[in-house]
A and B are shown apart, each in its own frame.
Chain A
């Protein structure tokens, strides 16, 4: 890292304090490089693994043109992943090795994608919930990132994620208006909502963001981002007559989660156990990865390994 990133930590701080963006390795210190590589890897891995996850669910498309929309979303996700990986390539990472030679459990994406999406209901909910989470996280990066090449590239991502969200919301609205569809939609929402709450990571009291915020890899803390996400999702699902275990508290002006959280999860049954667990328990589940991790990574790496 030292040879690649020539600046000292103090020089990076001075550069940022002067209102400049970091444009490449020449402006980075080892700590900056380490941090920006980490967040770019998480972002690119998340976009990449969404492709096999969505493709699996797209098989349930009600008609060919709906399948076409799903595939076009998947194509966007691959292009977003490419942005992250090509920037990592510029930061001295061996891009093909990173994508094609890593072990499945070394990929860094939210646990939610390790749980299979098994219906068109779950695909469109993923668009409405997971893509909303991605949108909240990337909008924050777009606004706050101090890494110029990424900040500029995200203009395109923002625009396309809006389309994914609209796709999800349009279908959710349509299904929620029909009593039979609504029951199935609610059943999927029950496991997917809480799993997306986990997407934003450990609560602020458990996670020290120090350098992530100081160096401007992101602008908001995990809990602030979780709040942002609920601010988009909760009013929408209520509007279409669905239910989620969260509400807006007028007094504190914050969303409150109305169920044990974090909670024990059965990934095979895709069901919450109702028992509150510790974040340490959640970390154990995340680290072990979920049911689809190996299948999805094998699918992504298949052509390369021959």
Chain B
């Protein structure tokens, strides 16, 4: 299962896409996201299952 990872490093920043992780369950996906995308001192990181995303405007 693919999870999209979003993060931000300052309170005034919006969340932005930083990458994806592929894991079979939520707990593993959370751990993977934190360890793979540890290049910045993030203050906030979320993960979203890719299949939950709907495009309102397509590029």
A residues whose Cβ falls under 8 Å from a Cβ of B: 20-21, 23, 27, 76, 79, 82-83, 86, 89-90, 95, 148, 152-153, 156, 159-160
Contacts and interface: CB of A to CB of B under 8 A. Distances in A.
Contacts of A20: 59
Nearest to B17: A152
A89 B22 contact: yes
A83 B37 CA distance: 10
A132 to B, nearest CB: 20
A79 B32 CA distance: 12
A76 B17 CA distance: 19
B56 to A, nearest CB: 15
Given A79-B36, A79-B39, A160-B39, A86 B19 contact: yes
> From DSSP, what is the main secondary structure of chain B's interface residues?
strand
Interface residues of B, number: 9
Interface string B38-59: 0100000000000000000001
Interface of B: 2, 17-20, 22, 36, 39, 59
Given A20-B59, A21-B59, A23-B59, A83 B19 contact: yes
Nearest to A85: B22
Contacts of B36: 79, 82
A268 B30 CA distance: 45
A305 B52 CA distance: 34
Contacts of B20: 86, 90
Contacts of A83: 19
A86 B36 CA distance: 12
A296 to B, nearest CB: 22
CB-based closest 6 A-B pairs: A23-B59, A86-B20, A156-B39, A82-B36, A79-B36, A86-B19
Contacts of B2: 89
15 contacts: A20-B59, A21-B59, A27-B59, A79-B36, A79-B39, A82-B19, A82-B36, A83-B19, A86-B19, A89-B2, A89-B22, A90-B20, A152-B17, A156-B39, A159-B39
